[in-house]
Structure 1
Amino acid sequence: MDVLGSLPAFVLAVLLISASPGPAMALIFRRAALRGLSGAVPTVLGLELGLYAWALFAGAGFAALVATSEVGYVVLRVVGAAVLLVLGVRAWRAAWRDRGQVDVPAPPATPLGRRRWWTAFGEGLLVQLANPKAAVFMIAFYPQFVPADGPVFATTAVLGLLQITLETGLYLALAAGVARAGDWFRRPRIRRRLEAVSGTVLVGLGVRVAASSR
């Protein structure tokens, strides 16, 4: 297969896949709405580092091992579902905790401190690494663009870099767009509704991951 000749199809597929709803989109939307663009950046970077790790795992054959191992896949599925459920419950708790606040204009988002920055980064990284569908996706998607008789790991690593570059740009554009309406999203009444909806989406995704098969 000609890697250069297949790049347009690869780029198009990545853009379509990245734009589809999922845990990454839900996390980024929530972070950008409540914390602004600067608050969403570490989450995006964590998600993309996790995705690139799966790309490297796929190139090395580890992703295939996880996807084909019944025990490994179940463990990863349980961990992934648990992570999403915890994030969803936390959002619900935030909505419940803020229910008595007066609906007044919210203050602007403040820059994240170092500890919160790394917490947001780790949240994105953990969600991506604990996603069993990422392993299945990599072993099903990348071989279509990687020549079997060529340097599989190196080609996969380069394609992975291209994918995370495209996704990072797309997700940061999404976060910037959502952050423009941040003052509205941070109004107590709207924030409560956003937290409640976000929690419901994340719990639903967690249940779907727990109940899904390969």
Structure 2
Amino acid sequence: MDIIASLPTFIVAVVLISASPGPAMALIMRRAALRGLAGAVPTVLGLEAGLYVWALCAGAGLAALVAASEVAYVVLRAVGAAFLLYLGVKAWRAAWRSRKEGPAGEAGPEAPAASARTWWKAFGEGALVMLANPKAAAFMIAFYPQFVPADQPLLATTALLALLQVAVEIVFYLGLAAVVGRAGAWFRRPAIRRRLDAVSGTVLIALGLRMAVESR
């Protein structure tokens, strides 16, 4: 198989995967709505850092060990589900506090530029959501070998393909965040933000529960 000839198919697959609803999309949409494009950047980079780690693990054969180990798979699934539930409950609490405080208790629009601590917190949330998802390990094992020629080194080729995937997803997600961020002032209106928190919290909790109960 010619790896160059397979790149268009690879890119199309990556775009379709990126557009699929899931924890990554939910996190990015909420972050962009409340913090704008700049606020969504650390979340996107954290998710992509986690994805790249899993890709390297897949190339090195470690992801296969995780996917094959029942204990490791269950532990990762429990951690990932718990973190999604935590993020969902956090969003629900924000909606409830906003409801109790009312318009007078609402802060002004959040500044897109965040402190270093806030930046790294958002980056860490994105990375943890990706790294604690055992389905990501299983996906990498199944996805990358299709595009790695038999005569090419698996780890090095996977690392290069993963860089391409990360680049494509960063462009896609930041483009989406930019579109959502343009309506940031509307999303930050007290009533709209309260509904956004409630809806995003419900989505994150549903995703966490699905991760907790679904089988391989």
Q: Which residue of 2 aligns with 1:15?
A: 15
Which runs of 5 or more structure 2 residues have no equivalent in the other structure? none
Deviation at 1:75, TM superposition (A): 0.6
| 1:141-184 alpha-carbon deviations (Å, 9 max, x no partner) | 11100123321000000000000000000000000000000001
| 1:188-211 alpha-carbon deviations (Å, 9 max, x no partner) | 111010000000000000011111
Deviation at 1:5, TM superposition (A): 1.2
Deviation at 1:213, TM superposition (A): 1.5
User: Quick one: percent identity of the two aligned structures?
Assistant: 71
RMSD of aligned residue pairs (Cα, Å): 1.4
Matches of residues 57-206 of structure 1 in structure 2 within 5 Å? 57-99=57-99, 100-102=101-103, 107-110=108-111, 111-206=113-208
The answer (yes or no) to whether the contact 1:26–1:198 under 8 Å persists in 2 is: yes
SS in structure 2 at match of 1:98: helix
Provide the C-alpha distance between the structure 2 equivalents of 1:153 and 1:28, rounded to a whole number of angstroms: 29
Deviation at 1:101, TM superposition (A): 1.7
Provide the C-alpha distance between the structure 2 equivalents of 1:146 and 1:78, rounded to a whole number of angstroms: 32
Letter aligned with residue 201 of structure 1: V
Specify whether residues 120 and 204 from structure 1 end up closer, same or farther in structure 2 by C-alpha distance, changes over 3 A only.
same
Provide the C-alpha distance between the structure 1 equivalents of 2:104 and 2:193, rounded to a whole number of angstroms: 10
Provide the C-alpha distance between the structure 1 equivalents of 2:104 and 2:215, rounded to a whole number of angstroms: 44
SS in structure 1 at match of 2:169: helix
Provide the C-alpha distance between the structure 2 equivalents of 1:124 and 1:5, rounded to a whole number of angstroms: 32
Provide the C-alpha distance between the structure 2 equivalents of 1:113 and 1:49, rounded to a whole number of angstroms: 20
Letter aligned with residue 77 of structure 1: R
Provide the C-alpha distance between the structure 1 equivalents of 2:104 and 2:29, rounded to a whole number of angstroms: 22
Deviation at 1:108, TM superposition (A): 3.6
Specify whether residues 105 and 95 from structure 1 end up closer, same or farther in structure 2 by C-alpha distance, changes over 3 A only.
closer
Deviation at 1:105, TM superposition (A): 9.6
The answer (yes or no) to whether the contact 2:80–2:129 under 8 Å persists in 1 is: yes
Letter aligned with residue 120 of structure 1: A
Letter aligned with residue 37 of structure 1: L
SS in structure 1 at match of 2:215: coil
Q: Which residue of 2 aligns with 1:5?
A: 5
Deviation at 1:77, TM superposition (A): 0.5
Aligned residues: 214
Please list every run of at least 4 consecutive aligned residues from structure 1 whose deviation after the TM superposition is greater than 4 angstroms: 103-106
Which runs of 5 or more structure 1 residues have no equivalent in the other structure? none
SS in structure 2 at match of 1:150: coil
